[in-house]
């Protein structure tokens, strides 16, 4: 019995240590005159509520050298998270007070009546200037949506292998990162064919890289969408948060929040997307239009530590297609009638 308690005790201790370390960094930054701000991320909502996403941080001062300056991934991890900060969210003149979690992350649902499409509101912490952010409001009559993985589905990262992941996250200039060929065109076609469809980018990546991802997607003309990332810190019962659990929980949440929507699910065979989408399709059989799985190239598969097995979906009730890039997936999805032919 004692041995079963030992790992839990260690992780609880490590989680407390992490919080104390960040608290020390926060005090040190404040003593230098630095103040927290809100890093706001694009959320989503219905015509009756919004999911507000952001993070309270103290960001080290940097020299601004223009939009196309060299940006290394490690800079996004140098910011100090401010745990349990009180944040003021103002939507259509109505003020809400919310509290960030231990890692400074804001993820809360607030009542609001907004028009469909992209809408703006503000978030502020302490005496900082309000930060404007956006949220995509899904109209009540929308019946189609897109959920897409990011790593090796939108952006070539070879993320599953730890050393490559560390190199991509902390060292590589963000302008050197490459999009998966054809994926921007595929996503643009899906949103063009289905006006008002929400686009959700669901990834196991850390919230620290959210600004990098947003700039990357703008540069490569991906449709605007909401980001659902995670915090890499320890939890009450494990050293690091489970990326698989994060994806599974948010998939189930989206299925519950929007029961009228049938989603197209896009992922790759380098992680667990096929298994996750299989489970989601089984739990919400009426909420899936199609599944598209990108097959990694042999080189990408080696860097990613191999491929995961793609199940046999020949008897599935929804179309299940595979392809090596966005163009191949678009062709397969057009064949099964999910996208229009040109």
Pair 244, 129 in one domain: no
Pair 159, 16 in one domain: no
- Give strand pairing partners of 172: none
Q: Is residue 218, in this structure, part of any structural domain at all?
A: yes
CA distance 145 to 159: 26
Pair 172, 318 in one domain: yes
Of the three residues 84, 105, 137, the one that is the final residue of a domain is 137
Pair 82, 185 in one domain: no
Pair 152, 130 in one domain: no
CA distance 234 to 9: 12
Pair 199, 230 in one domain: yes
Give the pLDDT score at 305.
53
Pair 192, 221 in one domain: yes
Pair 179, 319 in one domain: yes
User: Domain range for residue 46?
Assistant: 2-137
Q: Is residue 341, in this structure, part of any structural domain at all?
A: no
The model carries a pTM of 0.84
Give the pLDDT score at 7.
42
DSSP 179: B
Give the pLDDT score at 2.
41
pLDDT one-digit tens code per residue, 188-203: 999 999 999 999 999 9
Q: Is residue 327, in this structure, part of any structural domain at all?
A: yes
Pair 220, 298 in one domain: yes
Residue 258 makes CB contacts below 8 A (sequence gap 6+) with: 46, 138, 145, 198
HSE of 251, CA atoms in CB hemisphere, 13 A: 31
> Which positions of the chain have pLDDT values less than 50?
1-11, 65-72, 160-161, 234-240
Provide the domain count of the chain. Answer: 2
Give the pLDDT score at 78.
72
Q: Is residue 340, in this structure, part of any structural domain at all?
A: no
Token code pair at residue 206: 């850390």
CATH code of residue 171: 3.40.50.1000
Of the three residues 137, 172, 188, the one that is the final residue of a domain is 137
Give the pLDDT score at 200.
98
Is 84 within 8 Å of 115 (Cβ atoms)? no
pLDDT one-digit tens code per residue, 153-187: 998 875 544 555 555 555 556 666 789 999 999 99
């Amino acid at each position: 019995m004692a041995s079963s308690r030992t790992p839990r005790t260690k992780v609880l201790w490590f989680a407390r240590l992490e919080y104390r370390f960040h608290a020390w960094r926060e005090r040190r930054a404040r003593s230098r005159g630095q103040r927290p701000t809100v890093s706001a991320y694009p959320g989503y909502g219905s015509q009756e509520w919004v999911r507000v996403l952001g993070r309270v941080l103290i960001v080290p001062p940097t020299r601004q050298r223009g939009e196309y300056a060299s940006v290394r991934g490690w800079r996004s991890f140098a910011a100090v998270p401010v745990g349990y900060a009180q944040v003021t969210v103002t939507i259509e003149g109505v003020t809400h007070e919310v509290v960030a979690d231990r890692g400074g992350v804001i993820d809360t649902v607030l009542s609001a009546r907004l028009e469909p499409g992209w809408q703006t509101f503000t978030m502020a912490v302490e005496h900082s200037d309000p930060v404007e952010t956006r949220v995509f409001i899904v109209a009540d009559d929308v019946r189609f949506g897109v959920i897409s993985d990011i790593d090796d589905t939108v952006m070539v990262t070879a993320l599953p292998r730890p050393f490559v992941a560390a190199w991509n996250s902390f060292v590589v200039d963000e302008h050197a990162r490459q999009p998966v060929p054809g994926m921007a065109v595929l996503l643009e076609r899906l949103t063009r064919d289905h006006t008002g469809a929400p686009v959700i980018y669901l990834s196991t990546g850390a919230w620290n890289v959210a600004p990098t991802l947003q700039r990357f997607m703008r540069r490569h003309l991906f449709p605007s969408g909401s980001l659902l990332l995670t915090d890499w810190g320890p939890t009450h019962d494990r050293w690091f948060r489970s990326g698989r659990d994060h994806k599974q929980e948010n998939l189930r949440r989206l299925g519950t929040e929007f029961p009228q929507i049938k989603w197209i699910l896009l992922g790759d065979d380098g992680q667990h997307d096929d298994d996750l989408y299989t489970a989601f399709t089984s739990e919400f059989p009426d909420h899936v239009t199609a599944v598209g799985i990108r097959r990694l190239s042999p080189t990408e598969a080696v860097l990613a530590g191999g491929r995961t097995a793609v199940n046999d979906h020949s008897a599935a009730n929804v179309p299940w297609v595979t392809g090596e890039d966005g163009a191949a997936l678009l062709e397969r999805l057009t064949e099964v009638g999910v996208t229009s032919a040109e």
